[in-house]
Structure 1
Amino acid sequence: MTDVATGPKPGRGETPLGRIVRDFARSKIAVASLAIFVLLILLAVFAPLVAPQNPYDLAQLSILDGMLPPGSESFEGMVYWLGTDDQGRDMLSAILYGLRVSLGVGVSSTVIALAIGIVAGLTAAYFGGKVDSLVMRVVDLQLGFPSILLALILLAILGKGVDKVVIALVAVQWAYYARTIRGAALVERKREYIEAATCLGLDHRRIVLGHLMPNCLPPLIVVATVQVAHAIALEATLSFLGVGVPVTEPSLGMLIANGFDYLLSGHMWISIYPGIALVITIVSINLVGDQLRDVLNPRLQR
């Protein structure tokens, strides 16, 4: 039987984690997207091992191999399955290395912003009053600026670099998490178990970390998953505009920018293939986040 208000009933003896896995596995698209995302992570982590060449090692490059179309063979007998760019770099290898930078920036910025947002949101919701008003005014002020504009201003001040991009993305993202967890915490703050913990004389740290925060995490997990994709897309936009990562540490966005000037000359593979990799990455993350939203919020299920 299915309860309209609470969703599918868990099986007898089934743990909450087991129910989440079972409900998530009901969507074949979500499972396939998760498999693709895990594969992309593995390819990024082990890029030095699986890439045919190190595209940024000058000793492995030959200018004679520049602008070769997909499927071409080099003078040394190496097959460039996705072609080469103007410097003779293997595009498949460049995409794997670029994926490494893009995922690293997206995940690291999301984790840091999530930690800051959790602290700010829980503090505002738990203590309320002037603390809540002060934190939320800062959040409203930050959310009042477009993300891309704020990131551009920060990078204009900080300069290029992977660490600079991470700082800019953290500054852009943390307010989303703070507002999300504050809303969930305000609801949980009025529950009986919080009042009971307060009456028992538990200190604030134990109440917030041991009781309040665990019950506010489900909606935050969904937001964080979607924000990873948003961070990757934003970083790609910044790199395409020339203010993101440097040329020596290129991301997928930088690879797209490098081939943009050659689109009209017929060498479209230099931009097209990194663009396809970027789209697959973002779409797979978003599909996983959509299914997590349905699983963690039973009211959205039929």
Structure 2
Amino acid sequence: MNQRKKTIIYFTAAVIFLAAVAIGGLFCKEAAQATDFSQKNLLPGLSHPFGTDWLGRDMFVRTIRGLSLSILIGLAAATVSAFAALILGIASATLGKGVDAVITWIIDLVMGIPHILLLLLISVALGKGLTGVVVGVALTHWTSLARVIRGEVMQLRESQYIKIAEKLGHGKLHIAVKHMLPHLVPQFLVGLILLFPHAILHESSITFLGFGLSSEQPAIGIILSESMKYLVTGKWWLALFPGLMLVLTVILFDVAGESLRKLIDPGSAHK
């Protein structure tokens, strides 16, 4: 089995697992909040793989539901962020030095502020909750991809077919959409997938700190935050398994992104 086939297997396995978690969490909303005081504080076992908490709630179901929320939030935020990066990256490289200077200044400004601090400020300004988290993540994660797309467009501008299109009188918008955009799709898709782990981790971080989703929702950040007060009493499973599943989800998104990059890269076809 060559490297390309292995990469396809890794990518497929990662996507199937992440899709199963995201979809599965949608069907266990009620089960994630169901309490049973006769089953509280149980150690991990066959009936409850991740144990139960102080209210008798099944931690496995809560973890799946929390990961599903994180993945869906990451999907929404990363999609908005990636499209913003695509539009601003193309605009920066095609609309003249003035527009380029303004967009580059905005990119430097956003990148100069720590992500978590800017996320907290935006989330609080928008009243926290789901809207604050999605908007905060979307507005703070587009800069790196925008720089990559800008660099690609700057190279494409020097191509012969682009110069010929300009001499034929085609407008900048026509050239950008018809001639440049198809070449940017691979970088856009890879960048979009690689935005997911950052979005998920930052969503969980600000929720853990109390500036994200509300405590009524079984998000991973809420689960980890609530479990902290019970760790000293020996209930280690309340934080261990949700934390491991969060790390696994982030790693799988990274694997999916890197695998897609290798598959799209023409040089990988010869490996």
Same fold at TM > 0.5? yes
Instruction: Check whether the contact 1:24–1:295 (CA below 8 A) recurs between aligned residues.
Output: yes
**How far did residue 175 of structure 1 move?**
1.7
Give the aligned CA root-mean-square deviation in angstroms.
Answer: 2.2
- Name the CA distance, whole Å, in 1 between partners of 2:219 and 2:179: 40
Distance 1:214 1:37, change over 3 A: same
Query: What is the aligned partner in structure 1 of residue 131 from structure 2?
Result: 163
Query: What is the aligned partner in structure 2 of residue 26 from structure 1?
Result: 6
Q: Rg bigger for which structure?
A: 1
Structure 2, unmatched stretches of 5+, are: none
- Name the CA distance, whole Å, in 2 between partners of 1:94 and 1:66: 14
- Name the CA distance, whole Å, in 2 between partners of 1:47 and 1:299: 38
The reply on whether 1:224 has 2:192 as its aligned counterpart is yes
- Name the CA distance, whole Å, in 2 between partners of 1:157 and 1:84: 35
The reply on whether 1:35 has 2:3 as its aligned counterpart is no
Q: Identity of counterpart residues, as a percentage?
A: 28
Q: How many residues align?
A: 269
**How far did residue 153 of structure 1 move?**
1.6
Instruction: Check whether the contact 1:68–1:83 (CA below 8 A) recurs between aligned residues.
Output: yes
Distance 1:135 1:36, change over 3 A: closer
Of 218, 229, 246, the match for 1:261:
229
The reply on whether 1:237 has 2:211 as its aligned counterpart is no
**How far did residue 104 of structure 1 move?**
0.7
Structure 1, unmatched stretches of 5+, are: 1-21, 73-78
Runs ≥4 residues deviating over 6 A:
none
Of 49, 54, 62, the match for 1:81:
49
- Name the CA distance, whole Å, in 1 between partners of 2:191 and 2:106: 20
Instruction: Check whether the contact 1:34–1:284 (CA below 8 A) recurs between aligned residues.
Output: no
The reply on whether 1:198 has 2:166 as its aligned counterpart is yes
The reply on whether 1:55 has 2:32 as its aligned counterpart is yes
Q: Secondary structure at the match of 2:41?
A: coil
- Name the CA distance, whole Å, in 2 between partners of 1:136 and 1:174: 12
TM-score by length of 1: 0.82
**How far did residue 290 of structure 1 move?**
2.2
Instruction: Check whether the contact 1:37–1:281 (CA below 8 A) recurs between aligned residues.
Output: no
**How far did residue 145 of structure 1 move?**
0.8
Query: What is the aligned partner in structure 2 of residue 69 from structure 1?
Result: 43
Distance 1:37 1:296, change over 3 A: closer
Whose helix proportion is higher, 1 or 2?
A: 2
- Name the CA distance, whole Å, in 1 between partners of 2:267 and 2:118: 35
Q: Secondary structure at the match of 1:201?
A: coil
Query: What is the aligned partner in structure 2 of residue 16 from structure 1?
Result: none
What does 1:83-98 align with in structure 2 at a 5 Å threshold?
Answer: 83-98=51-66
The reply on whether 1:147 has 2:115 as its aligned counterpart is yes
